[in-house]
Chain A
Amino acid sequence: MDRLPLLTHPHDDSVIAWRGGAPVTRRRFLAHARAVAEGFPAGTHILNACSDRYHFALTLAAGMMTGRINLMPSTYTPEAVRHMAAFAPDAFVVSEGNDALAAALPHSPFPDLAGIDTHDAPPVPALPPEQAIAWVFTSGSTGTPVPHLKTWGKLVANTRAAARQLGLAERAQGAFSLLGTVPPQHMYGFESTILLALQGGGAFGADRAFFPSEIAAQLAALPRPRLLVTTPHHLRTVLRADEAMPPADLLLSATAPLDEDLAGAAEAAFGGPLLEIYGSTETGQIATRRTAAGEPWQLFPDIRLEDRDAATWALGGHIEQPVPLGDRIELTGPGRFRLVGRNADLINIAGKRSSLAYLDRQLQAIDGVEDGAFHLPDESGREITRLAAFVVAPGLTAAQIVAALRTRIDPLFLPRPLVLLDRLPRNATGKLPRDVRARLLAETPGPEESDTP
């Protein structure tokens, strides 16, 4: 198999990133990456916790140049970081700050880039397709994170398929810029802001885009054609902010389902088409659709879906091995499908996925908790829905239980409210059906009526 280049930018002066309004060329990027690699300690596994997208990309590239592998946990709780240390004892953290993560792992501070000679750059590295690039972890339903290996060949195949499916080549004639509101540590951010720029010959904006006015300012500063790589949650916030948005030539959304109305409103606000991407940590990106037009999903050309034992499986193309999907899927034609529901145990809050069974186990494992169950209320309009939890823990306060949960689960899944009860009304088989949990929540007094018996 032929080696595949780390990036596809054709010239030394091709732009790969924008920082503070200034372009970063290929030459500069590669010289920086070489310097970063020289400062690494001996370990072969990197927990890349850089918050600056440019620093993240350099750390990734430096690791690839030296045969190191990125660890990408689904969350960065102390528990998850301890698990990374157990999974790869030689791992080290790279980050700008004095990271809390460094408690469990050796810390290699991101170096100062000033003073690095960027005139003489190394050649573009080319890697064998079987080279391991990243271990990405899903929050396994058994409570142990499940590792999935991503090799360079599959990542490149997936990224190039995505670029073709998004029409980037026609839309952008080889050069485009993109702004991401998703962190590069998240699989979607990794694929659609870092890899899409490296393998599509584009440039990513590296300045922070968190608040709506920042998104507007950063996007306006990028040369066209330009993409906004975002999520339903960020789109909702932006559209509620009453700020004029600059034009975007393409909007991408992933991590959680986007409704047609929101997609239409986003297209109107940015004056460009919005394509939603379907995928998962295990499969990578496998389908897109023009959501505002009510289109069904269109699979990438080499990917197939098959129904097997009550689940739909995705296989072929860049997928390493067949993967069961968390959604219930209805095939509507060749390579086309609709989502008709989710596996009831799976939850998705602001793009983070977990399972109720996993969260329940984390809650029940806390010292002093005798019984406990999470509940996801029905979606309500445009706000993010939060989990509730019912706990039997004589002698513990709600605050103590939340503090213990905080070390075990992603903060997004922390319950609001956490309701303390004397017992949980489980049925004869030990189950606590969804309607019973909904009733328990409805019976919970609000903060103003807490003095009612």
Chain B
Amino acid sequence: MNDTAANHPADDALILEVAEQIVAALNLEMAPADIEAEAPLYGEGLGLDSIDILEVALVLSKRYGFSLRADNEDNVKIFASLRSLTDYVATHRTK
């Protein structure tokens, strides 16, 4: 269903849901709840690289019905942390 809202804050339930999908998509050796909402996803922190980012983008876009395009959105900003990524999902989801 279409429940997009301009300023949908990422609530804890959605943060955990996105974390679960990251852990499953990448076979990470950690529990979803252990991913810190503010910790960087790239490089240091969770240590994701560009292959992981593509994989996560693919899984999330299928689950939430949006296409990631970086034409005017800064990738690094979207993937800065679990919270920023979940914010993006909350604002752009169509399902």
Report A's interface with B, CB cutoff 8 A.
208, 210-214, 217, 233, 237, 240-243, 350, 383-384, 386, 402-403, 406, 411-412, 414, 416-417, 446-448
A411, A414, A446: the one within 8 Å of B29 (CB): A446
B residues with a Cβ closer than 8 A to A are: 26-31, 43-44, 47, 49-51, 54-55, 57-58, 61-62, 67-71, 75
Query: How far is it, in angstroms, between the C-alpha of A73 and the C-alpha of B58 when the chains are bound?
Result: 30
By the criterion CB–CB under 8 Å, are A237 and B58 in contact?
yes
Give Cα distance in the complex from A383 to B28, angstroms.
Answer: 13
CA–CA, A240 and B47, complex, Å: 24
User: Distance in Å from the Cβ of B62 to the closest Cβ of chain A?
Assistant: 7
Q: Which 6 A-B pairs have the closest CB atoms?
A: A213-B67, A417-B29, A411-B49, A211-B68, A447-B29, A237-B54
Q: Within the assembled complex, what's the spacing in Å between the Cα atoms of A449 and B26?
A: 18
Q: What is the CA–CA distance of A412 and B43 in the complex, to the nearest angstrom? A: 11
Question: Given A412-B49, A416-B27, A447-B30, A241–B69 Cβ distance below 8 Å?
Answer: no
Q: Which of A210, A214, A412 counts the most chain B CB atoms within 10 A?
A: A210
Of the residues A212, A386, A414, A416, contact of B58 by C-beta under 8 Å: A212
Which A residue sits closest to B67, measured CB to CB?
A213
Measured CA separation A419–B77 after assembly (Å): 32
A76 to B58, CA, bound (A): 26
**A416 in contact with B75 (CB, 8 Å):** no
Given contacts A411-B49, A412-B49, A416-B28, whether A240 and B58 have CB atoms under 8 Å apart is yes
Identify which of A243, A386, A411, A417 contacts B43 (C-beta below 8 A). Answer: A411
Which secondary structure dominates where chain B touches chain A?
Answer: loop
Contact of A448 among B31, B69, B71, B75 (CB under 8 A): B31
Known A240-B58, A403-B44, A447-B29: A211·B51 in contact at CB below 8 Å: no
Other CB < 8 Å A-B pairs besides A210-B50, A416-B29, 7 of them? A210-B54, A211-B69, A213-B69, A214-B71, A386-B27, A416-B26, A416-B28
Known: A210-B70, A237-B58. A447 touches B31 (CB 8 A): yes
Q: How distant is B57 from chain A, measured CB to nearest CB, in Å?
A: 6
CB distance from B42 to the nearest CB of A (A): 9
Query: Taking the nearest CB of chain A, how far is it from the CB of B22, in angstroms?
Result: 13
Q: In the complex, how many angstroms separate the beta carbon of B89 from the nearest chain A beta carbon?
A: 15
Measured between beta carbons, the chain B residues less than 8 angstroms from A403 are 44
Provide the bound-state CA to CA distance between A211 and B60, in Å.
Answer: 12
Note all chain A residues with C-beta closer than 8 A to B49.
Answer: 411-412
Does A210 lie within 8 Å of B75, measured CB to CB?
yes
Q: B43 contacts which chain A residues (CB < 8 A)?
A: 406, 411
Q: Which residues of A contact B69 (CB under 8 A)?
A: 211, 213-214, 217
Assembly CA distance A243 to B51 (angstroms): 19
Give which listed residue, B30, B31, B47, B70, contacts A414 with CB less than 8 A.
B47
Can you show 20 pairs from A to B with CB atoms below 8 A apart?
A: A210-B54, A211-B67, A211-B68, A211-B69, A217-B71, A233-B51, A240-B58, A241-B58, A241-B61, A241-B62, A383-B27, A383-B55, A402-B47, A406-B47, A411-B43, A412-B49, A414-B47, A416-B28, A447-B29, A447-B30
Inter-chain CA distance A242–B68, complex, in Å, is 13
- Rounded to whole Å, the gap between the CB of B63 and the closest CB of chain A is 12
Contact B67 A243 (CB under 8 A): yes
A169 nearest CB across to chain B (Å): 34
What residues of chain B lie closer than 8 Å to A417, measured between beta carbons? 29
Q: Shortest beta-carbon distance, B6 to chain A, in Å? A: 22
Taking a contact as CB atoms closer than 8 A, the residue among A211, A242, A383, A412 that contacts B57 in the complex is A211
- A137 to B58 Cα, complex, angstroms: 33
Complex interface: chain A residues within 8 A of B75 (CB): 210
Q: Which residues of A contact B62 (CB under 8 A)?
A: 241-242
Complex Cα spacing A272 to B47, Å? 37
Contacts of B51 in A (CB 8 A): 233, 350, 384, 412
CA of A200 to CA of B14, assembled, Å: 50
- A212 to B60 CA separation, bound complex (whole angstroms): 13
Task: Identify B68's interface contact among A213, A240, A414, A416, CB under 8 A.
Answer: A213
Q: Which residues of A contact B58 (CB under 8 A)?
A: 212, 237, 240-241
A28 to chain B, nearest CB (A): 23
Residues of B within 8 A of A213 (CB): 67-69
Which residues of B sit under 8 angstroms from A214, Cβ to Cβ? 69-71
Shortest C-beta distance, A83 to chain B (Å), equals: 20
Please tell me if the beta carbons of B27 and A211 are within 8 angstroms of each other in the complex.
no
Inter-chain contact A411/B47, CB cutoff 8 Å:
yes
> What distance in Å separates the Cβ of A413 from its nearest Cβ neighbour in chain B?
10
Residues of A within 8 A of B67 (CB): 211-213, 243
- How far, in Å, is B49 (CB) from chain A's closest CB? 5
CA distance A224 to B54 in the complex (A): 27
Known: A416-B28, A447-B31. A208 touches B47 (CB 8 A): no
CB A217 to nearest CB in B, in angstroms, measures 7
In the assembled complex, how far is the CB of residue B88 from the closest CB belonging to chain A, in whole angstroms?
A: 13
Q: How far is the CA of A240 from the CA of B60 in the complex (A)?
A: 12
Interface centre among B30, B50, B62, B67 (most CB of A within 10 A): B67
